[in-house]
């Protein structure tokens, strides 16, 4: 099959979830004999046409919504191909217009649109009815499916397909050797990685630090930041200093081997207040589980649907720094719980590997 992936957020940062998800899915599909082409909005930091691991990537000017289809049709014409599958990815349902516009030029193609997370825009969350223009809509959890259905998307069109991770990259490693390598020997490492935003729970984690440090004098909290947000880093460092936790915190903006840091950590903390702007099964969470690192996260409906508190992860109350600190301290002080969470997390994470998720998408594609 010839498959077109369409996304707006793709390629603004190659560490971002959309880049990793689309290239990973495309690579898995191409290994099974399918041809995948990725179309995204132009970006001054990247060439208009690029090939990555055999995947052709096109940045189609600044065309928005209905103009995207014409550009995709022109490129397909030059390559003398027709698309069997038109598959869009976005958080906002409004972006389905790009998928819809492309489908008009390929009337025999199956149209699929994946809602990766909840839109941050109030308007975006009011437009789910337009997803009914697709043959199929996918989202990552049953909780999200119910929300889409309640907002007007036809229930019979919605399939639950989780967001994938790369379990060949995120694997268990020797924590002691990695701590020695990176200069953390003899320390307990708490890791947060992702965007440095309040909406990701960064504030709650920082506010929990005094209580954590009081019980764990040897702890180092590492913030591995995916984008070079120096202003945000400086803002949060000042917050850390006011809490007298400066010597226990390191914020890293430089490029690092994040898979090694995740494997090295004694615990990964992801204190999501909501999942707005975050995938329903967050990549960071499952990457940590696949790396043999226990996770402390929050009791959100999407997460309690697929994870068991005390078995797969440890869950704190949302927007509650005291609860978060208590759960971190509880985990760090209980080796039996650590071992159980690691073993269960490793098993659970296997279901989210690209090789398994791509089969779920192929089942949808083959029903065209």
**Residues 238-261 pLDDT 10s:** 999 999 999 999 999 988 999 999
- How high is the pLDDT of residue 264? 98
Residues 134-178 pLDDT 10s = 999 999 999 999 999 998 999 999 999 999 999 999 999 999 999
- How high is the pLDDT of residue 240? 96
- How high is the pLDDT of residue 63? 54
Residues 86-133 pLDDT 10s = 999 988 888 888 898 999 999 999 999 999 887 665 555 567 888 999
Summary mean pLDDT of the chain: 91
Burial class (CB in 10 A: 0-12, 13-18, 19+), 98: buried
Asked if the model's pLDDT at residue 351 lies above 70, the reply is: yes
Residue ranges and CATH numbers for the domains of the chain are 2-164+353-365 (3.40.50.2000), 175-352 (3.40.50.2000)
Burial class (CB in 10 A: 0-12, 13-18, 19+), 51: exposed
């Amino acid at each position: 099959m010839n498959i077109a992936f369409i996304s707006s957020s793709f390629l603004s940062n190659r560490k971002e979830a959309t880049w990793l998800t689309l290239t990973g899915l495309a690579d898995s599909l191409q290994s099974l004999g399918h041809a995948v082409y990725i179309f995204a909005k132009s970006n001054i930091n990247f060439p208009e046409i690029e090939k990555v691991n055999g995947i052709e990537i096109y940045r189609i000017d600044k065309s928005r919504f209905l103009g995207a289809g014409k550009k995709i049709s022109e490129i397909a014409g030059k390559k003398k191909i027709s698309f069997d599958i038109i598959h869009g990815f976005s958080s906002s349902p409004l972006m389905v217009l790009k998928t819809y516009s492309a489908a008009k030029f390929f009337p025999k193609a199956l149209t699929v649109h994946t809602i990766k997370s909840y839109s941050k825009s109030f308007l975006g969350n009011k437009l789910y009815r337009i997803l009914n223009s697709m043959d199929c809509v996918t989202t990552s959890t049953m909780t999200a499916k119910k929300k889409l259905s309640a907002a007007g998307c036809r229930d019979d069109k919605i399939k639950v397909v989780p967001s994938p991770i790369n379990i060949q990259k995120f694997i268990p490693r020797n924590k002691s050797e990695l701590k020695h390598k990176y200069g953390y020997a003899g320390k307990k490492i708490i890791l947060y990685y992702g965007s440095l935003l309040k909406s990701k729970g960064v504030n709650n984690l920082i506010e929990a630090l005094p209580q954590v440090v009081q019980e764990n004098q040897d702890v180092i909290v590492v913030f591995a930041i995916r984008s070079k947000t120096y202003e945000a880093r400086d803002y949060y460092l000042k917050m850390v200093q006011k809490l007298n936790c400066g010597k226990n915190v390191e914020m890293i903006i430089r490029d690092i081997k994040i898979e090694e840091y995740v494997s090295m950590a004694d615990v990964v903390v992801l204190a999501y207040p909501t999942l707005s702007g975050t995938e329903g099964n967050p990549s960071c969470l499952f990457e940590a589980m696949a790396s043999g690192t226990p996770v402390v996260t929050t009791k959100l409906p999407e997460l309690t649907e697929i994870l068991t508190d005390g078995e797969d992860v440890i869950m704190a109350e949302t927007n509650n720094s005291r609860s978060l600190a208590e759960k971190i301290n509880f985990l760090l002080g209980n080796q039996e719980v650590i071992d159980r969470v690691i073993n269960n997390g490793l098993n659970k994470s296997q279901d989210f590997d690209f090789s398994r998720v791509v089969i779920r998408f192929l089942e949808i594609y083959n029903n065209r």
